[in-house]
Copies of this chain bind each other. A is one copy, B any other.
Amino acid sequence: MPKVGMEPVRRKALVDAALRVIGDQGTLTVTMSEIARHAGVSPALAHHYFGSKEQLLIETIRSLLRQLRDDTVTALRTVAGPRERLSALIRVSFQASQFAPDTIAAWLAFYSEAQRSEEVRRLLVVYARRLRSNLMASLKALCADDDAERIAEGAAAMIDGLYIRQSLRSAPISIEASIALTEDYVSSHIDRLK
């Protein structure tokens, strides 16, 4: 079995397993054993590669963020024009993979962890800033700077809020309805300024 070059394979397997287990249980208080089991390795190996549970969690968030960024880049590549780009950004935020119950549960757990871990907090701030600046870039072409700022803030809040509400799974809103609600907000505020 022991073959050279396993490290990247195992790292990825562990990170993926961590995300699955965290999403499934909706908490970061999952054991290294459980994560390792899902990755098909021993708990000791997880420690061998990541040093600590905290570090594995950090890498897991990084992976989630990377995924989201890649999806965003891909989505933006195919569209031109500020208004279309805005729509693409909204669509990416609610795309199925991100809006799945497990993923939402994981995000929530990470937000909670950010209260304690400075590094986790920093990573989530990166996400918040990125969303904001992406929205701003398009909005600035459509309205005055300070209006753009307010609309970006509002749209970002609405997106995050729709996520949270989704996590309760009571009267769940569909992906399409979530997109429509956010689109509606953006549209009507841009129009009003015309």
Q: Which residues in A have some Cβ–Cβ distance to B below 8 Å?
A: 25-27, 29, 105, 108-109, 111-116, 121, 124-125, 128-129, 150, 153-154, 156-165, 167-171, 173, 177, 181, 184-185, 188-189, 192
In the complex, are the beta carbons of A115 and B105 less than 8 A apart? yes
A157 contacts which of B109, B128, B171, B181 (Cβ < 8 Å)?
A: B181
User: Closest CB-CB distance, A107 to chain B, in whole Å?
Assistant: 10
Question: Is the Cβ of A162 less than 8 Å from the Cβ of B157?
Answer: yes
Name the distance in Å between A104's Cβ and chain B's nearest Cβ.
9
Q: 10 nearest interchain CB pairs?
A: A26-B115, A161-B161, A157-B161, A160-B161, A125-B170, A112-B112, A157-B162, A160-B164, A105-B115, A158-B158
